[in-house]
Structure 1
Amino acid sequence: MYDPLVHSSIEQGVSYPASYWSANTSLQSLGTSLQHDINTDVVVVGAGYTGLSCAYQLAAQFSREVTVIEANNTGWGCSGRNAGFVLRGTGRLGLSQLSKKFGLDTAKLFHQEYGAGIAQVHRMIAEGNIVCEPQPSGYLKVAHTAKLGRDLPVQAEYLQRNFSYPVQYVSADQLKRDYMQNTQAFGAIRFPDCFGVNPMALAQGYASLAKQSGVVAYTGTPVLQWRQQPKGFIEVQTPSATVRCKQLIFATNGYTPKNLFPQLNNACLPVLSSVIVTQPLNAEQLEVSGLNHTQLVMDTRALKYYYRKLPDNRLLFGGRSAVHGKDATKPIYPARLLNALKACFPMLESLRYDYHWSGWVAVSYDDLPRVCEAQPNVFYSAGYCGSGVSFSTLAGLRLAQLAMGHGLPALPLYQSSLRPFPLPGFRRIGQQAFYQWGRFKDHFLS
């Protein structure tokens, strides 16, 4: 599997992973490979949520000539591999953590901006009439120990009082009665505005919107290198052509090859997230497990598990995977996920999985993403930490505004570039140490 900490360039023209999404989505090619030199106003590298949203906004709102360049195809990276969780947030810091770090007033601005992210997803779905199977809203943050469950009422009250966020505390008994017979669930907080989608269909819809607005896209076309020219132009080199542009926007996030943009690669830790999708649950299995709802679910572990019931009654269940890309397809990782699912729901012991795949998420050093101008007329957005479906859509809009010289909300997300990891060559060693600590913490300290 392609590994951005190992490979100097991304693979070209690789097919989609054998995921549930690729098997159950009508896939259309955004374009063909670039075979001739061109000039354009803006080059956007990457045809995922960020890049497609940015390209669409630049063309539709600002009448810019925009060219999207993608090494493979629409949504080939994380945008087509994620679990389809449209959450109100990004990064790994919750509102209480943001309050401690930046103050309550700034945390309230974060909350507003995260709400704007969900609204932007809804807006683009409506504008493009995107058929992406949005499910009724609701997200359950589930305490995986009794100790953590006792803290939930205080957390819910904090969010209600300080952010006017109408979350709901769900007791352990209510959780079992109304939502699930999870033996490792001790209460939850329910967030009312989050929802699930088919993420690949969402990416395909964004691509159609961009194309309709006049964006020109080339797939199967990796960027090999780029350089700024003395007269203000930027020259982008692909395998068969050269592109000259005025502005260059990287929307590659966790898939940025190590030699393409070292400043960005060194500021992200690519982490594999792995997903299984089970066989459809029958009526009896749905009844005994209590999983007769469409709520998104994520637990409170340091190494979190997340899951949801899909429209065809399959369970999607995900968590952390291998450390190195070369190990991503080893059968131990889907087996671990299936065992974890059955540890939560022992009544589903006979359940098997039909799909397994992995994808890279980009973890930033300070657990927050950035949208920035890295150097004159070169921009990027990255570091969503595995929680980027809604924010990456909004980040595309913010990138477009930034490229056009518009001011952005007064948030740390927009005021600096990503901080590089200290000793970036040792990122994987640090990741392995964190995984060991996380397993110890989840088992003994939670």
Structure 2
Amino acid sequence: MNILIIGSGGREHAFAWKITQSKNCTQLFVAPGNAGTAKIAQNLPIAVSDFTKIAEAVKEHNIQMVIVGPEDPLVKGIVDFFRKDKSLKKIKIVGPDAAGAQLEGSKDFSKNFMQKYGIPTAASQTFTKDTLQEGLAYLAQQSLPIVLKADGLAAGKGVIIAETHEEARQSLHEMLAEAKFGDASSKVLVEQYLNGIELSVFVLTDGKNYKILPEAKDYKRIGDGDKGLNTGGMGAVSPVPFADEAFLSKVEEKVVKPTLTGLQAEGIKYVGFIFVGLMNVQGEPYVIEYNARMGDPETEVVLPRIKTDMVKLMKATAEGKLDKIKLAVHAKAAIATVVVAKGYPEDYRKGDIMVIPKPQKDTILFHAGTRLAERDIVLTNGGRVIVSVAMARTLNSARQKSQRLAKNIIFDGKYFRKDIGKDLLKYLKGEKEDI
């Protein structure tokens, strides 16, 4: 089977790495891909939202299955585009249509959806530029801290946790009156702050059947100790020690099942991944957000733990036969450390030459913001540059391996967090902090 992955980050390199392990993959293409995918697949220089050129490539390369990595083409309706074209209708595609992608594309839609179907979530109210004064009055009545969320896609940066009422008022004004996040903040949700610990649960569904994939915890802040600016993610861990069987059972009963029931009730045939961002509040799951795809860098720790043939899994999803597949998962822990460019998450450098070490046993390097120059030289080409992933029997051993590999990556101005997974050692008996 010829397969196309759409996207260019660490998530897509992880999918490519996993898919190339399957004997069911004949040829693999990635659009547009990066320096890492170029070594194991054929990169196609096509933007993720250029549906016409993607369709041309599908026909030219006799592609039979498409896996959509990032949210932007999903929200813009790539699945609908394929379904409306008679020549593309039979192509298997893993990803929800535009109606399903609203779970991520509109925070207001997803919040209303959760409330309608009794899915536990924080209390909130939505405001627009026309109701800004009502929003400011509403803020004054709320306890602190308070969360402000841009309704639309804002590249992971549309959420502000305000510690003071003054900060909240200023942020709401900037988002609505000054369009801080463009159209994404034409609506803003003001949401109750949940005090707990975050994790993510990933669901794969064919529209009726589902599999719950390994859970993960990511690290959003730029600095050690969760200090500093929000980023797209500085690292991830799977499994999550505080998410025991009892908690994950609650997630399935209180979140996963009603979410899928709600989608079916809304007439949405959702095919693909649902990323459920959760807060564990004293042992109870509350949904912070949905994403209509796998997370990044969470994918980089989830996929290495899956034993099941990824092509078989994706094919069964696209064909509505997920109930025929058994999901097998490694017991090992996986940790990802994201190595970023100088200046990230604000203005960052590009074009620095990289020296990339050869991964050792149970370690993997997933490229994110990289590109190939002449003579196979790899250059930095994004804020999040490369992801150092390690697996081991214990979380702390995986942590040490991931950190060592990250240290050995060389380029000017590189930076990575030194504490990924460190906060979770307290949940594990006998695992001491070595680094």
TM-score, normalized by the shorter chain, greater than 0.5: no
The structure whose residues are more often helix, as a share, is: 1
Q: TM-score with structure 2 length normalisation?
A: 0.24
The structure whose residues are more often strand, as a share, is: 2
